[in-house]
Amino acid sequence: MLRRSLLLLALSFSISHADETRTRIALAGDSTVTDTAGWGAAFAKLLGPNAECLNFARGGQSSKSFRDTGNWKKVIDSKPAYILIQFGHNDMPGKGPERETDPATTFPQNLTCFIQEARAIGAKPILVTSLARRTFDKGKIRGELKPWADAAAKVATEQQVPLVDLFTRSVDLHNKLGIAESDTFNPPGKDAKTPIAPTSTPMVPKSSPPSSPQNSIKWPPISPSS
């Protein structure tokens, strides 16, 4: 289940690099992308020996603060071939003016700038929508991140970049599981409502390849040991 779940992040793009070249993939995002609290480490394990994953995600970051704190510059300076970009959780109201963005204006503007700057160094950007918070209302996931997820999807279409829609997939999965089974994703010693589960049991559901040829991605081969 873990292997299949994380394959949705490794489903598209053909890499033309020579076999002896390690393809560098950078991750930019908040805590749900980090190695310690998100899907970053599990994703990296799916990559074969000809690829390396550099995780620049940091807890508490938004699409605004990630640039303001210098983290985006680190991503660009690493000169990756691909950049996976996921923000939204800390762009929401209540996070303070140094982090909040508007899903109708500043959030898509920030994502568009990331895309343009990635392309300027020859990298291929990929947008990822935020994993849903596992907060239920009348038996269904509340889905307060939807405006930011929808904005990311719109930017992906406008900018013609691949999109991994983790928000929709995670909402669908946990609505199907229900409250009791969803709570089994809680880290030890914590109650419910965390946006992502422990690395050993990710909340990312199964996926099928995107239907659009332009959004088709194929990562380096998966290591047999993963």
Which helix (H) or strand (E) segment is 148 a member of? helix 146-159
- List phi, psi (to 5°) of 40: -60, -50
Span 43-58, average pLDDT: 95
Rounded to 5°, angle at Cα 98 from 93 and 101: 45
Q: pLDDT of 110-158, one tens digit each?
A: 999 999 999 999 999 999 999 988 889 888 899 999 999 999 999 999 9
3-state secondary structure of 12: coil
Residue type, 182: S
Whether 59 has a pLDDT exceeding 90, the answer reads yes
Report d(CA 61, CA 222) in Å as an integer.
30
Residue 43 and residue 224: Cα distance in Å, rounded?
A: 14
Q: Is 198 helix (H, G, I), strand (E, B) or coil?
A: coil
Q: Are 1 and 198 in contact (CB under 8 A)?
A: no
Mean pLDDT over all residues of the chain? 81
User: What are the strands of the beta sheet with 163-164, ordered from one edge?
Assistant: 51-55, 23-29, 82-86, 124-128, 163-164
Assigned CATH topology for domain 2-215 = Rossmann fold (3.40.50)
- Report pTM: 0.79
CA 94-98-104 angle, to 5 degrees, is 70
Q: What pLDDT is attached to residue 224?
A: 36
Name the phi and psi angles at 27, rounded to 5: -110, 130
